[in-house]
A and B are shown apart, each in its own frame.
Chain A
Amino acid sequence: MKKKLLLTTALLLGSTSMVAANDDLMAMMDDPNQWAIQTGDYANQRYSDLDMINKDNVGDMQVAWTFSTGVLRGHEGSPLVIGDIMYVHTPFPNIVYALDLANDGKIIWKYEPKQDPDVIPVMCCDTVNRGVAYADGKIFLHQADTTVVALNADTGAVEWSVVNGDPSIGETNTATVLPVGDKVIVGISGGEFGVRGHVTAYNIADGSQEWRAYSMGPDSDILVDPETTTHLGTPVGENSGTNTWEGDQWKIGGGTTWGWYSYDPDENLVYYGTGNPSTWNPAQRPGDNRWSMTIMARDADTGIAKWFYQMTPHDEWDYDGINEMILTDQEIDGVERKLLTHFDRNGLGYTLDRVSGELLVAEKFDPVVNWTTGVDMDPNSDTYGRPAVVAQYSTEQNGEDVNSTGICPAALGSKDQQPAAYSPKTELFYVPTNHVCMDYEPFRVSYTAGQPYVGATLAMYPAPDSHGGMGNFIAWDNIKGEIAWSVPEQFSVWSGALATAGDVVFYGTLEGYLKAVDAATGEELYSFKTPSGIIGNVMTYTQDGQQYVAVLSGIGGWAGIGLAAGLTNPNDGLGAVGGYAALSDYTALGGQLTVFTVPN
């Protein structure tokens, strides 16, 4: 299926050099011996055809080699493997290493950008970076300070660089970039600083800007055609990016774009989600706040939106919609459909038709989710596609300066950016999740450019009346909208999963374990404790006919901030002391790549 998608692609692309660049990259993504893109492939399936390591022998897996990155901060993302070279990135200062896999991981080149440390304090929640991308003989690094740099993949020499945002108003970057055809597509962070989110395409050859699409604002800024861009099948009409905002609030409206990007070459559509509207105090921004919290499908060449779906109109809980969009071709009721599956921070697992944007499934992927009773699935209803908000958990209805308690999930969501995997063999999605609830008290804040613009006080704690842990690793059926199995975890699972043809699924834990479980049952087959907590994503490749599995350790990110000292539940009442497990009892800062194999 994947092959079919790839073959037709070349025909659709315009210029010849563009076809060559893309062909090259897509052939690499299709070759399981390499790991050519952070997301495994354009579809973001994070699935490998390799089966040398499989459910029968994974119990014998051992560490093959390790590499210290030299940086002690949260390590998100993963290495890439292109041919015999592995590319490893670090959090700020965003070093890139090229390692020679044919020569025991010897360092071929190292690139360390000079960045103003002033960018550090405007990065909410640690200085993570989700990795480099490859295309056209170049390695693309999107630095914390929003500089996008193209490095010669062989030498590390800078071929071009371009500045995508302005850190002095809180614009920063944590995400990887998406190379498509003759462009690289890049996002922006800073929703907690009142940044207005945007997605920008730069020319792959020289870094010149091709298009930029804002998440809110006039039609010319958000790149819509009021007649043909649709929301749930209906044209969005004129001024859709301003008419659900009061006054000029959209100018500091949030909707940042710091998550993952996927691409369907047949449709030539890029898919991603937008973040929370700012501030976190909903009373300061009446209206639906379009197009924050929205799944977007845009034409890769022009940026014009084909369709939108706003999941959480008028966010009241910081449920950013930026998590990955996983593209699959599956049968529903005997009909083959092109699907998009998305596990949102708001706790709902969505399945849509990725061509039309039709909503097919929206179900809770954690049973404790309580802020909504569910999404209206009746196309004839006035509230079609909207989640029904439970008044008790509505921080808008409870009002400013009122503490709304017991809201599930917490602001970090039932799942954050840590990407899920999909196995076409089981047709299941393997999802790292959080099992955390919160109290949320919004209050009035004033906006100062470059200063945090939050406006809410939060307290988080493990989901009450459950297993006491803060996470689950689940298998999800996206057509039935049901959990197939669920493995409880003591801490939130903050590591990207990997599924393989060996019927094994890999993921990391915050304590630092790399785990392998049976794809069919979730039964644990292997676990090894790496030197620091894992918030990176598991990847796989081969070298000299041997399969390897690799992951970055290095505790940090939101998890390192929120969970280091453990959580307490204020609603347990007075006398409940000690709280829940503290990460600091299990792990400490680190920065290491651990590579595993099953010895012959």
Chain B
Amino acid sequence: MRNIAVMLATAGMMVMGQGAFAQDDPNITVAYEEDGRYFTDDGIPTYFVDEDGTVDWLTFSGFRRYHSECHVCHGPDGEGSTYAPALKNSAVDMTYDDFLYTVAAGRENGNSVMPQFGDNLNVTCYIDDIYVYLKARGTDAVARGRPAKKQAKSEAIAEDEDACMG
């Protein structure tokens, strides 16, 4: 199963790529797909953009969640603001674990404070969505604004979401 998915995904990428410099970045490149979620070789969540610009569900969902939970400090489209850093870069530069940890635990740096979201279901249930969306922004695989076309939400993703939101 998994192998087939890998091969399919790889074949797809040969044709369209995922943004020029992302192609051979092991932190970005899709190695396999599982129930509508995309992963790197190391099993780190990543985005998938089709030839015609269709994004995977998580990337689209991440766009929505980011603009609901994060953009009031980090600015639109992960671009950063006078208040907080550009997360489109952080998502590419930080490890997945660091990213998750920072969002869950927050960070205090004098008068510059990143809140803790560890017990906020509107964030924790969608953290992979936000993460892959920001990686897609950081590699210019997805332009600013709302992704025009998206894959449907898979049943597995819907089930996970319901289970997480309680």
**Interface residue ranges, A against B (CB under 8 Å):** 71, 73-74, 92-93, 117-118, 120-122, 124-127, 192, 403, 439, 441, 443, 445-446, 448, 451-452, 454-460, 555-556, 560-562, 564-570, 574, 577, 579, 583, 589
Contacts and interface: CB of A to CB of B under 8 A. Distances in A.
Best-buried of B79, B112, B165 by chain A (most CB within 10 Å): B79
Contacts of A124: 72
A561 B79 contact: no
B129 to A, nearest CB: 12
A455 B143 CA distance: 23
A221 B53 CA distance: 53
A140 to B, nearest CB: 23
A389 B67 CA distance: 25
9 contacts: A73-B111, A117-B110, A446-B122, A451-B120, A452-B69, A452-B72, A458-B71, A561-B81, A561-B82
Interface stretch (B17-25, B37-45, B94-102, B144-152): B144-152
A281 to B, nearest CB: 10
Nearest to B115: A121
Contacts of B69: 452, 454
B36 interface: no
B114 interface: yes
A339 B148 CA distance: 48
B144 A568 contact: yes
A509 B48 CA distance: 41
B122 A561 contact: no
B145 A565 contact: no
A561 B76 CA distance: 8
Please name the 4 residue pairs, one residue from A and one from B, whose CB atoms are nearest each other, closest first.
Answer: A560-B82, A121-B115, A565-B79, A570-B145
B81 A441 contact: no
Contacts of B77: 565, 568
A569 B122 CA distance: 26
B106 interface: yes
B80 A564 contact: yes
A93 B82 contact: no
Contacts of A127: 111
Contacts of A574: 53, 143, 148
Contact of A121 (B81, B86, B106, B121): B106
B32 interface: no
A564 B111 contact: no
Contact of A456 (B68, B83, B110): B68
- Chain B's interface size range is 35 or more
A contact face: mostly helix, strand, loop, or mixed:
loop
B41 to A, nearest CB: 31
A577 B143 contact: yes
B contact face: mostly helix, strand, loop, or mixed:
loop
B73 interface: yes
B75 interface: yes
A365 B117 CA distance: 40
Contact of B81 (A118, A446, A565): A565
Given A92-B111, A560-B81, A565-B80, 11 more contacts: A446-B165, A457-B64, A458-B67, A460-B76, A560-B82, A561-B73, A566-B79, A568-B76, A568-B145, A569-B145, A583-B82
B68 A448 contact: no
B81 A567 contact: no
B82 A589 contact: yes
B115 A565 contact: no
Given A92-B111, A121-B106, A565-B76, A457 B82 contact: no
Contact of B144 (A446, A555, A562, A579): A579
Nearest to B146: A570
A561 B70 CA distance: 11
Nearest to B110: A117
A74 B114 contact: no
B72 to A, nearest CB: 5
Nearest to A71: B111
Best-buried of B65, B73, B106 by chain A (most CB within 10 Å): B73
A460 B77 CA distance: 11
B72 A125 contact: yes
Contacts of A579: 144
Nearest to A453: B122
A569 B76 CA distance: 12
A448 B119 contact: yes
Contact of A441 (B64, B113, B114): B64
Given A443-B64, A555-B82, A562-B76, A117 B108 contact: yes
Contacts of A448: 119-121
A567 B76 contact: yes
Contacts of A454: 68-69, 72
Given A121-B106, A457-B64, A564 B82 contact: yes
A89 to B, nearest CB: 15
A383 to B, nearest CB: 32
Best-buried of A125, A403, A446, A564 by chain B (most CB within 10 Å): A564
Nearest to B145: A570
